[in-house]
Amino acid sequence: MDPGSPAELSLQRTLVLLVMLVSLLAIAAALIGPYSISPTQLIQAFAQRLTGRIDPALAATDTVLFSVRLPRVAAALLAGAALAAAGAVYQGLFRNPLVSPDMLGVSSGAGLGAVLGIFLSLPVPAIQGLSFVGGLATVAIVYLLASAVRGHEPTLVLVLTGIVLGALAGACLSLLKILADPYDQLPAITFWLLGSLASVRAADVLATAPLVLVALVPLVLLRWRVNLMSLGDEEAAALGVDPRRLRLLFIAAATLMTASIVAIAGVIGWVGLVIPHIARLLVGPNFNRLLPTAMLIGAGFMLAVDTLARTLAETETPLGVLTACLGAPVFVWLLASGRRGW
Amino acid sequence: MMLRRIARMDQGRGCNRHACHRRGAAARHRRLRCWLLALCCWLPFGAEAARLIEDSAGRKVAIPERIERVYAAGPPASILVYVLAPDKLTGWPRAPRKDERPYLAPATRDLPETGRLTGRGNTTNLEVMLRTRPDLIIDFGAVNATYVSLADQVQAQTGIPYLLIDGRFEQTPAALRLVGDILGVGDRGEARASEVEALLTTLDDVLATIPERERPRVYMARGPNGLETGLKGSINTEIIERAGGRNVADPGDASLRRGIVQVSVEQVIVANPDTIITWDPNFYRGVWRDPLWAGIEAVQRQRVFLSPLVPFGWIDRPPSLNRIIGLKWLASLFYPDQMPMDLRAETRAFYRRFYHVDLDDNTLEQLLQWTQGHPPN
């Protein structure tokens, strides 16, 4: 498709619109919060940072803005984009619209890792590290087990193995919950499993962003091959690609993204499932166009939801609750409207 | 709380022992009646004489006159029973950990782990509970419809009387008296109850002179990153108000005052508490070096306090009689002039009277190191 064609123009227009929308949302999110910051103060704070001279009167604003709120905005954008991208890849890879990034057990594994960390009363960075490792390890085990099984449709075996290991991780997690201190650890576990960006800080974003970017590289470079994969292994092989190696690469990339997000934000459901569908409605199933659109919508959606989460009440509303309340109706509507094509 | 003994039923095994040994038709009749009566007495209450108790939920429960073995339905109840009659406890909801053992009476350190029957997470197998052959089940803490129905259900299922006792601070003296009376240690119950009452009265007198706006604004930091807290009005944080502080996590509307919630650090910055209390050593160590918390008044004024956790937490965890020492401690931190406390002597005395242990200097020192911000590793 040459760049001048109408479809490409409309994609560009969609993307430009989405970028503007997300930017507006980001500015709004930077201004909204329990600590009141006016637009003038926002500009002043940025100017101060650029000139390097911090006015003591604005020191508190500076802390809230640059250490609390903006890292959180960045984390929301990152989480939404990464989860939506991972979901889009998985849905193409498994040729199934009901697939979400935690299909192969990454969320269950990451959840188990984090809960183990809370159970052992480890400091926060260790909890995050365990969560990240847990997510990666679970998917690695799923992949290895599924590769060991031969003679069946490979994606089917992967999905079934993922479900089995996810359930196993869930069982271990329940066991830890039962053993945990009900007055101290159990609430922490519950909050963690519902997902939240409340405790995200700049260091978390700086640690996670490179991982997500690294994982994005193969997706962007090989984006048209995701389309081939969605035709099925035989067709993909006939078209000259190695489906097994590609699948491994895409699964590794999507898992890396999801695991790094889950490590800092906890388990956030629905985004990876619903956002790719909305993106598909806008720009069609071609992964070339789907990936940037889904990432932008995901980022904007996550940012909006997180801003709601921190402003709805005096305390934090869990992200998992909000994404489910917003995601479930959208999903039912998508099912009812009967559109197809992934 | 209307807790009182309502009636005694002294018919029991007496009748079949004495009256039933005569011979003859009339005697046989009488014997039959007697057996029936004995059977009636035995069915609901066991072979013991029984009395009726009204618990905090208004449930009327028949319990045996003599109670030797008590199953504590959860951690708060286990502490209540332990304080009053450690020899009657059938087990701990969770076996004491290594660092907790020196602070418990030697005879109770090796009691089996019997799980929780209520509260968050039910871990008890009823058969395991029955195997400990309890005469009575006690739950101590929040009283609501869920716990009432659970108590009724377990009582019907096992035939073991099940009492629900209100665990709030204001009800503590009443609970000590009632359960002391039930367990046959009325004197000890009365002594502990008056001790608690004296503390509460002293506090009330001091607080009467301190206007609301001069009281410390307190944040209870829970969880590994300190971003969980208990809302004002929840049983987990009531110690803040009772010790004369103001909980900064106040949703205003009483209907929103549910238990533990998550907050963001921005909300803590806005609330700007002048005092932070916690029991989490990880959070305590980190808070001093954390730039996000650095601007908060409590951190700047070095008013972040770490509560000891052994054998039970001082400010919560669980919310039970263990909070009495914490209440005294917090009040002394909030109002050092009006509520002075000889931490060493009073801690030793509390552990002797409530926990039945004589702490040697070393053990006591380790405990008090927590309050200085040095928890053992």
Per-residue confidence (pLDDT) for residue B364, from 0 to 100: 95
Q: What does the block give as tokens for B344?
A: 């060493």
Alpha carbon B45 to its chain's center:
27
Of the candidates A181, A183, A198, the beta carbon closest to that of B264 is on: A198
φ/ψ (deg, to 5) at B274: -95, -5
Residue B121 — pLDDT band, cuts 50, 70, 90? very low
Which of B92, B267, B278 to mutate to probe the A interface, most A CBs <10 Å?
A: B267
Of the candidates B224, B316, B318, the beta carbon closest to that of A124 is on: B224
Lowest mean pLDDT among A180-189, A194-203, B40-49, B344-353: B40-49
B316: contact with A, CB 8 A cutoff: yes
| C-beta atoms surrounding B224 within 10 Å | 24
Residues B90-123: b if buried by 16+ CB within 10 A, e if exposed = bbbbbebeeebebbbeeebbebeebbbbbbbbeb
B327 close to B199: Cβ distance less than 8 angstroms: yes
Is cis: bond before B76, omega within 30 of 0? no
Chain A residues with CB-CB distance to B256 below 8 A: 313-314
Strand partners, B138: B72, B163
The size of chain A, in residues, is 342
Q: How many CA atoms lie within 13 A of A268 on its CB side?
A: 40
Does A264 have pLDDT greater than 60?
Answer: yes
Q: What does the block give as tokens for B245?
A: 């502080």
A37 close to A61: Cβ distance less than 8 angstroms: yes
B228: contact with A, CB 8 A cutoff: yes
Rg value, chain A, Cα: 21
Rg value, chain B, Cα: 24
Q: Which pLDDT tens digit goes with each residue over B180-200?
A: 999 999 999 999 999 999 999
The C-alpha atoms of residue B166 and residue B144 are separated, in whole angstroms, by: 10
B279: contact with A, CB 8 A cutoff: yes
| C-beta atoms surrounding A164 within 10 Å | 13
Q: What does the block give as tokens for B252?
A: 């205003």
CATH code, B58-198: 3.40.50.1980
- The predicted model gives A284-301 an average pLDDT of 94
Residue B9 — pLDDT band, cuts 50, 70, 90? very low
Q: What does the block give as tokens for B56?
A: 């905090």
Provide the chain B residues 194-223 that lie in CB contact (below 8 A) with chain A.
222-223
Pick the CATH number of A6-337 from 1.10.760.10, 1.10.3720.10, 1.10.3470.10, 2.60.40.10: 1.10.3470.10
Per-residue confidence (pLDDT) for residue A281, from 0 to 100: 87
A262 close to A111: Cβ distance less than 8 angstroms: yes
Q: How many CA atoms lie within 13 A of B95 on its CB side?
A: 5
Residue A101 — pLDDT band, cuts 50, 70, 90? confident
Chain B residues with CB-CB distance to A68 below 8 A: 264-266, 269, 292
The C-alpha atoms of residue B211 and residue B221 are separated, in whole angstroms, by: 25
Q: Which pLDDT tens digit goes with each residue over B224-262?
A: 889 999 988 888 899 999 999 999 998 777 666 567 889
Domain boundaries, chain B: 58-198, 212-371
The C-alpha atoms of residue A170 and residue A168 are separated, in whole angstroms, by: 5
The C-alpha atoms of residue A312 and residue A317 are separated, in whole angstroms, by: 7
Q: Which pLDDT tens digit goes with each residue over A231-255?
A: 888 888 888 888 889 999 999 999 9
Q: How many CA atoms lie within 13 A of B166 on its CB side?
A: 18
Contact flag B249-A315 (C-beta cutoff 8 Å): yes
Domain boundaries, chain A: 6-337
| C-beta atoms surrounding A62 within 10 Å | 18
* Residues of A engaging B, defined by a Cβ cutoff of 8 Å: 33-35, 59-60, 63-64, 67-69, 72, 118, 121-124, 127, 177-178, 181-184, 186-188, 191, 196, 198-199, 201, 310, 313-316, 318
Strand partners, B64: B50
Does B295 have pLDDT greater than 50?
Answer: yes
Lowest mean pLDDT among A250-259, B32-41, B77-86, B324-333: B32-41
What's the fold here for domain B212-371?
Rossmann fold (3.40.50)
Note the ipTM here: 0.82
Does B339 have pLDDT greater than 80?
Answer: yes
Does B18 have pLDDT greater than 50?
Answer: no
Who contacts B347 (Cβ-Cβ below 8 Å, separation ≥6)? B325, B359, B364, B367, B368
Who contacts A109 (Cβ-Cβ below 8 Å, separation ≥6)? A134, A135, A136, A137, A138, A139, A165, A166, A169, A259
Residue A339 — pLDDT band, cuts 50, 70, 90? low
Residue A261 — pLDDT band, cuts 50, 70, 90? very high
Alpha carbon B226 to its chain's center:
24
Q: How far apart are the first and last CA of chain B?
A: 42
Residue B55 or A52, more confident: B55
Reported as type and span, the H/E element at residue B22 is none
Query: Helix or strand or coil: residue A222?
Result: coil
- DSSP assignment of B96-164, as one string? PPTTTGGGS-GGGTTPPB---SSSSS----HHHHHHT--SEEEEEE---HHHHHHHHHHHHHH---EEE
The C-alpha atoms of residue A229 and residue B296 are separated, in whole angstroms, by: 54
**β-strands B50-54, B70-72: how paired?**
unpaired
What is the nearest CA distance from B186 to chain A, expressed in angstroms?
Answer: 30
Which residue has 């970017």 as its token pair?
A213
Per-residue confidence (pLDDT) for residue A86, from 0 to 100: 95
